[in-house]
A and B are shown apart, each in its own frame.
Chain A
């Protein structure tokens, strides 16, 4: 069942770590946000395979916005 991973904070996408098709484990960073000079990883809530990453590096995302989808 697909599952959305949402940003827990407003920030700018600093780094896209995981890509579609990548297997991730619980706690693995999927993207890294930069906010107020801090790098904050957004972590996968469970093991799975990344379906899509709908954001790009440099893009601003709001808290609650979907930054990755697991298959």
Chain B
């Protein structure tokens, strides 16, 4: 399905059948439950895959599909709703033994309440939106004097984005890594993990580089993470693909952050390193079949790295760069996978996320995967908009990245500046 802005997009011309769902603004197309259900009815579809972004983590959409007699390729509306409330998710995971960062037990009602919690756990703290996701309504607060202004901004953003201004407070984990675990459950009650991904290279709390396995991760930390992820997903009877996100500190301690109840943008690194097809498994599970693998059959072979090429100008603080793709050359070769949403002549509009494509490389070793990525980035050419390619080439060449000693603040601290 496609909006008017995407009528000529590659995903539309590649499809056997495509349904128009409305005008360019997402509220009237990709975020319109009514328009999507109508397109499903018109086309005679019996299932809906929500992808990522837009309505993919919207429990009302999952419920509306169920009510319309359509199979939603994802978890139940109940699980989406439970994990969508980040405060409830944190509380629930703590109750089944997962470590969480010190912070508020529930929403903080006002600035004074936020300050009481922040003083108790110690600055810096992170203000986060209960309705959360995508880094929206998230603010680092270094001192009590900054709290009132940060609280007002975060609340306004959270209300605009999620229709819910509730905020909570967590201790800020300085210098921590973002490591997540891919999980998958079926309707028979089996929950498996597909190992971890390291996703610390971020700007605005959004990922730019992901890889699997996570480099230099102590084996006991890794097994602790996968055990916790499976226990957490089991506790909510999770079905289909999901991701449990954690922060890991330099000593190997970890804390549960949140669960993403959908396929992730970065799922290809897991597919490349396990050799398994996550989307095919999602469809089987949605059709009521058991998971096609046993836990002991799922192993990491070699290494895979993914980079996200955004229409943004990294030299200007990753400012969006809409425009028309005047020329496009995609990399190819052994161990190179490209998932690209644009073609020559495509208009990169102001309406949607600026992700143009993902490049994924794999290798027998991490060094080989990185070398292949360097060659792929050198061969990739996008004319007409600014992109993150020059930035990503500096990441690949950076000694800390090559050592695997990364953390979530490196981009904002300027570690990869030209």
Contacts and interface: CB of A to CB of B under 8 A. Distances in A.
Interface of A: 8-12, 34-40, 60
B335 interface: no
Nearest to A58: B25
A11 B322 CA distance: 8
Main secondary structure of the interface of A (DSSP, over half): strand
A35 B353 contact: no
- Secondary structure at the B interface, as helix, strand, loop or mixed, is loop
Interface string B148-159: 000000000100
Contacts of A9: 319-322
B35 to A, nearest CB: 20
A11 B25 CA distance: 12
Nearest to A63: B322
A28 to B, nearest CB: 14
A36 B353 CA distance: 5
A40 B350 contact: no
A12 B322 CA distance: 12
B354 interface: yes
A12 B5 CA distance: 15
Nearest to B313: A9
Nearest to B53: A37
A11 B354 CA distance: 12
A9 B352 CA distance: 15
13 contacts: A9-B319, A11-B322, A36-B311, A36-B312, A36-B320, A36-B350, A36-B351, A37-B134, A37-B353, A38-B204, A38-B320, A40-B319, A60-B350
**Of A8, A37, A39, A40, most B-chain CB atoms within 10 Å:** A37
A10 B322 CA distance: 7
B349 to A, nearest CB: 8
Contacts of A40: 319-320
Given A9-B322, A36-B320, 14 more contacts: A9-B321, A10-B322, A10-B350, A11-B322, A35-B350, A36-B311, A36-B322, A36-B351, A36-B353, A36-B354, A37-B134, A37-B354, A40-B319, A40-B320
B322 A35 contact: yes
Interface in B292-336: 311-312, 319-323
Interface string B348-392: 001111100000000000000000000000000000000000000
